[in-house]
Amino acid sequence: MRLLLASLLATAGAALPAQQFDTRGIPADAAIVLVTAPTTGLQINTSPAMKALRERAEKISLKAAAAGPAGQPNYDKILREEFGVDTNDTKNSFALGLNVSNGANGAPDFSGAAILHVKVDPKKVEAFGKKRGIATLTAGGKTGWNALQFFAAVADPKAQPQADGPDSFQLGLFVVDAGTIVIVQPKDAANCFASLAGKSPAYALSAAHKSFVAETGKAYGFFAVNLARLPSTPELEQTGLASAAMAFGEKGPNQVYKIAANFTSAEKAKTSGQQIQGFLAAAPLLLAIDPAEPAEQQAIKKMGADLVAGIQPLSVNGNQAVMTISLETEKLIGMVSQIMDIAEKQMEAQGGAAPTPAVKASGGKKKPVGATTK
């Protein structure tokens, strides 16, 4: 929970224009893309309320870790002490690019890479891998670690690497330098490293995407998916959705989120737009608070109403529908705080948590195939 929250809150900002998102290392033709950039200087990162929220999130995470019979690991502490990684560093960013196709027996076949731009200590990573007996592998001219074994070792201090079967998923973890971690399948490693070094093309935002992102102010993230290049389903085809994009940014005192959906025809876009507008028009009635309702349910409805109030009128032009959500930064932080209130009450209702968290999690296995194992 803590690691996920840190990723969302600590690396979700960027004071960089769209064209400067660091997409090196991810495929130029990626069908699914998610990129962020450093949060330094943004209110979402510097607000005193956000600082208090992070401190509270840490406490809740410790409670949640201690609530189970054997507890759960404190990932922040593990990353910091074992690898020198600070999940709250405002300079953190990441890039993810994927392609998906139909593989053998109809199972999805993935390709692409994830690049984490974080401060890391390569020597500590190497020491951890050797201490835990994690298998090494060589791909793309670099030596790394069996990523799934590595993740299992982080999750469970007592986990031992397991023998892998013939269907093991191929995934490697490479510490390229003191500021870059790459997670990639061995078959894609060479292309990824060449792109990361600027020796081959990487994904680049189109002119339309750059303009779209710029409308959010100081952009802090970008997501795009080209559904035309992914395996289709009858349900998806019926919607007529061809591609979509999301952009996140900070403009003045507000956090701005834009969502654009491109359809196969103007008729499909109009129909979808009408459906969304109908739902938004009915939202105030659905979210009306009944004084007789439990306080928790009232709080959830209040948050929903605040969120709906931040949605600007839907725009439909041709085969594209665009929605913009603008929320005051302090109000958004307050909403997250309310969610934490509810989470804490639920934990207390379930018996609370022990004062001292234990460290334990499930292990795993799998070994990259087609790579050199030492």
H helices of 232-328, in order, are 234-239, 266-286, 295-309
The answer to whether 170 and 187 are in contact (CB under 8 A) is yes
Q: What is the three-class DSSP state of 270?
A: helix
Q: Residue 364: what pLDDT?
A: 41
Mind listing the pLDDT tens digit for each residue in 11-60?
Answer: 333 334 443 799 999 999 999 999 998 888 898 888 898 888 888 887 77
CA-based max dimension of the chain: 66
Residue 243's beta-bridge partner residues?
226, 262
**Hey, is 124 helix, strand or coil?**
helix
In the chain, which residues have pLDDT < 70? 1-19, 64-71, 163-168, 351-374
State both tokens at 279.
């739902």
The token pair at 4 is 């996920």
How many helices (H) and strands (E) are present in the chain, helices listed first?
12, 13
Domain total for the chain?
1
Structural domain of 12: 2-373
> Residue 353 has what pLDDT?
47
